[in-house]
Amino acid sequence: MVKVQLQDGTSREYNQGVTVQEIAQDISRGLAKKALAGKVDGKLVDLSHALQGDVQLEIITPESPEALNIYRHSTAHVLAEAVQRLFPGTRFGIGPAIAEGYYYDFDSSHTFTPEDLDKIQAEMEKIVKEDKPFVRREVSREEALQVFGDRGEVYKVELINELPEDAVISCYQQGDFLDLCTGPHVPATGKLKAIKLMSLAGAYWRGSEKNKMLQRVYGTAFFDKAELEQYLFRLEEAKRRDHRKLGAELELFAIMDEGPGFPFFFPKGMILRNELESFWRSEHRKAGYQEIKTPIILNRTLWEQSGHWQHYKENMYFTRIDDEDFAVKPMNCPGGMLVYRASLHSYRDLPLRMGELGLVHRHELSGALHGLMRVRCFTQDDAHIFMLPGQIKDEIIGVINLIDKFYSIFGFEYHVELSTKPEKAMGSDEIWEMATNALREALEAKGMPYKVNEGDGAFYGPKIDFHLKDCLGRTWQCGTIQLDFLMPEKFDLTYVGEDGQKHRPVMIHRVIFGSIERFIGILTEHFAGAFPVWLAPVQVKLLTVTDRAISYGKELRNRLEEAGIRVELDSRNEKIGYKIREAQVQKIPYMLVLGDKEADNKTVAVRKRGAGDLGAMGVTELISQVVKEIQDKAQ
């Protein structure tokens, strides 16, 4: 007999060799119908897995966090079987589940086209209807090499040869398709209800340019068609909101062939950028920060001292000046160290908060570049806080409060992650433990739930990352707080304590926007280009109906500008409907229609974005309303 402890804490006894599926059936018919896989002593297994000893068991259903990955991985196998049927002779790479679905890499003499995706999907749906079981088989290394070698599966043979000598080698078969796979999988293809092939791409085998380019087919899968349709809607909405498209349409910014990865900001984009930077400066002054500016190019010795030369060299740009090596800064931190070190500090000066809107350059691979989201030069809203050890907790809480204030202004929800010591790191385990505990204590003092990312810290210290959630439910890592005991040591930073002796300060690195450029990209997509009034490059558009209204429009433009409102006058000889539609495309918050009646009565006919026609309004009342929205930073 085997004793099975279930997730609810209860235990049951069964004959040795009982399967996970049989236990699910014994618990309830409803559970057996929903069951997709099992988790035995923390390891995921198929429903057909037989138990040989006492275990802890969890039945995996669609509600389980692991379920969707299993479901999508199984769908990837169905994709591969469909390709095998339609394009005989294809050789198979790998087909994992990924964040938004799954993919499979193929080596085929046939070049896949978008039309082929429809054929492949139709074949996948046939396989689903056939409801074929996924059958697991464990084989020896020799058998695996022979089976896949005889089929000409060179990629599978390569993978097998790299497995450890003691590895358990498993294969899965559904219908005529056999794959090398650790599993687990859903019990049969009939479980897969809502599947969709999405796109084609090229992918080097194992991500190396030295290897052959394979054809990658991307797909996604959900537990029901409603979820799939909602996902597809979000994708279409994301395309509509694409910041690259809106950046061009709204004349905000562009990436040009002459500078791949180096963004150009146009006049309207600079208004948006300057508003964000002005807001940043204002709030940081209130929070006790002093602004500094450090050089873009600094001597190699500085980067060796900071550790960037050893740990980050492949991402840096270099030049020679007066026969010496210099580097274009990838980070602002070392310059901030030099500013601190330039003066003598007392314990009474601390905490010392220094902020910098610093332009940095990092060498990103061309294939990784993406609009403003991944660029080669960007402005980080860095700040470095130098403090006494006893001030750590309060300073971290202060940064958390400031970050929360910023994100609330833009209407962003967010979650927090704590990242610990990475494999490549400077400093002892003791220092890292002290730093990590300080961050943890601050989060717990704030009562903030957080996720721990083991090994994902910076090379000089642990960090707290803030992940924004936009209106489409996508998350973006922006703000970060990094606690650093090491840089002050490397740069010999000191302060004079109460005892008259020199001591080391503790340091915080932190950003809120992260990258100004990337944050603008996120805002553009979040608001679909319809920025709140305080950020809108043009806040009010005056639209004249008659020639006589033009002089009134000029008078109004002057009044609005004097009130600090950004305004444009459209006095072209075009129909008013055309002018309104054009202003709507430009996503102008306020459109004021001016005709003879408005000119005579000294009023304006107001159309507000999102609210439509508000009717006639006095000019003073209108100015008061717009100015209040700007001052309140209303969303």
The answer to whether residue 382 is catalytic is yes
Three-point CA angle 400, 373, 267, nearest 5°: 100
For the chain, the 3-state helix, strand and coil shares in percent, each to the nearest 5, are: 40, 30, 30
Residue of 382, 465, 484, 570 with catalytic role: 382
Sign of CA dihedral 20, 21, 23, 28: positive
Residue 607 has, within 13 A of its CA and on its CB side, a CA count of 17
The pairing of strands 352-361 and 289-291 is parallel
The answer to whether residue 463 is catalytic is yes
The answer to whether residue 415 is catalytic is no
> Tokens 């380019």 sit at which residue?
213
**DSSP conformational letter for 238:** H
Residue of 273, 463, 510, 566 with catalytic role: 463
Residue of 21, 215, 380, 539 with catalytic role: 380
**Tokens found for residue 166:** 């003691």
Ordered DSSP codes for 466-478: EEEE-TTS-EEEE
Residue of 77, 273, 361, 509 with catalytic role: 509
The answer to whether residue 323 is catalytic is no
Question: By three-state DSSP, how is residue 285 classified?
Answer: helix
Please list the residues that pair with 381 across neighbouring strands: 357
Residue of 181, 333, 377, 478 with catalytic role: 333
Task: Report the residue count for the chain.
Answer: 635
Q: Which of 460, 428, 514, 461 is nearest to 310 (CA)?
A: 460
472 to 99, 273, 412, 422, 487: CA distances (angstroms): 15, 23, 11, 32, 39
Cα gap 330→590, rounded to integer Å: 41
Sign of CA dihedral 71, 76, 79, 85: negative
Residue 347 has, within 13 A of its CA and on its CB side, a CA count of 13
Please list the residues that pair with 269 across neighbouring strands: none
Cα gap 480→513, rounded to integer Å: 9
Residue of 362, 566, 579, 607 with catalytic role: 362
The answer to whether residue 333 is catalytic is yes
Residue 556 has, within 13 A of its CA and on its CB side, a CA count of 33
Residue of 91, 384, 579, 587 with catalytic role: 384
The answer to whether residue 547 is catalytic is no
Cβ burial of 121 (10 Å; 0-12, 13-18, 19+) is middle
> Tokens 């430009």 sit at which residue?
586
632 to 406, 527, 588, 590, 625: CA distances (angstroms): 13, 18, 18, 16, 11
Instruction: Kindly report the number of other CB atoms within 10 A of residue 439's CB atom.
Output: 25
Positions marked catalytic = 333, 362, 380, 382, 384, 463, 509
